[in-house]
Copies of this chain bind each other. A is one copy, B any other.
Amino acid sequence: MITIKEVAELAGVSKATVSRVLNNSGYVSADTRKKITDIMEMYHYIPSAAAVTLSRQESSTIGIVVPEIGNSFYADIVHGISQSADELNLSLVLFDTQNSIKKEERVLQLLQQQRVKGIILGPSTDYQETQEGRQLFHQLKEMHLPIVIVDRDFPHMPWDAVVYENYESSFRAAIELKKAGNETAGILTGNLHLKIARDRLEGFQDGARECGLTVYKEHILPGNFTIENAYQVSKRLLETKELPDAIYSCNNQMTLGFLKAARETEIKIGKDIAFIGNDRIEYADIFGVPLSYIYRDNFEMGQKAMQLLEKRMCFPHNGQEILRIPYALSLNGSERKQ
């Protein structure tokens, strides 16, 4: 692999001149420029990013950290990030922490070694909740790097973030359920160690209170954002026959778990029980399940996160910014047919 030095020699100029045409900075005559670019072409010269980084003392890559890239939620976010990063000419270093806070710690270390310009981070947990988490929190704060958090929003979080309107959308879900003629409702909650899950629960409860929808305690089902868990708790509920009129599921995965339980117990959504799900259920119209859902655009979340990070990298000290992505509603089965 040819270096700048050799290009310079071949072109009969100094490294400085070659560097100038590389970055087109400073003055270079048209002649020498041509001579140099010709040589570069001919010998397939490709500058070393490491050398540039070292010399400039800053890189043009940013770090992405997600709990599980195999989860379509994060895959979509990364997709959005990737697209925006491409427009900004930034490279992405990707790490999957496998939902382990230990890995999260290691990974942040690696990111510092890379001297990334900034980080987009999907924490595996709210840092308040555990000892390890609090430790990580401090480690993170001392990195003095632009950081954007996605889909987490815990108390006293000092970083920029992009989150959904969790409270508002869940509030709305309750209202819609009532409006559709339901008197009682249950909720499949997310992991309540996460503020985003608590927000959805509270939003739903407040909405229910507001409009007179009844939510019995035993219909508040403890979930953790996984299919399997939602399946279990839903099944148990559906088998009791002490059903609420309606169910609100806090995310996509859990909706799937609920659907499975519903099918197995032969309870029909939109007939025996009204339903509102969350996130996008891509397959709803394919399989013909009459679903209502609150739509959240993960791709957009990724794009916005990248744009927010870019902004922060340009203006480091401008106050925290928390971006809330609006939700959309698709109503189709929030009322029971008699």
Contact = CB atoms under 8 A, between A and B. Distances in A.
Nearest to A264: B288
A69 B59 contact: no
A94 B82 contact: yes
Interface string A89-118: 001111110100001000001101111000
B91 A92 contact: no
Contacts of A227: 286
A313 interface: no
Contacts of A113: 46-49
A44 interface: yes
Interface string A109-139: 1101111000000000000000000000000
Interface residues on A, range: 35 or more
A178 to B, nearest CB: 28
A28 interface: no
B93 A93 contact: yes
Contacts of A71: 75
Contacts of A51: 50, 54
A315 to B, nearest CB: 21
Interface stretch (A159-167, A193-201, A255-263): A255-263
Contact of A287 (B44, B93, B95, B259): B259
A213 to B, nearest CB: 27
Nearest to A77: B70
A191 interface: no
A283 B263 contact: no
A175 interface: no
A142 interface: yes
Contact of A61 (B47, B93, B260): B93
Given A115-B49, A256-B283, A79 B68 contact: yes
Name the 8 nearest CB pairs between A and B, nearest first: A70-B79, A75-B75, A50-B53, A287-B287, A82-B96, A260-B286, A94-B94, A49-B113
29 contacts: A44-B142, A46-B113, A47-B113, A48-B115, A49-B50, A50-B50, A50-B54, A50-B59, A51-B54, A61-B93, A69-B82, A70-B75, A70-B78, A70-B299, A72-B75, A75-B78, A78-B94, A79-B96, A82-B96, A86-B96, A86-B98, A91-B93, A93-B93, A256-B283, A257-B286, A260-B286, A283-B283, A283-B287, A287-B287
Interface of A: 44, 46-51, 53-54, 59, 61, 64, 68-72, 74-76, 78-79, 82-83, 86, 91-96, 98, 103, 109-110, 112-115, 142, 227, 256-257, 259-260, 263, 283, 285-289, 299
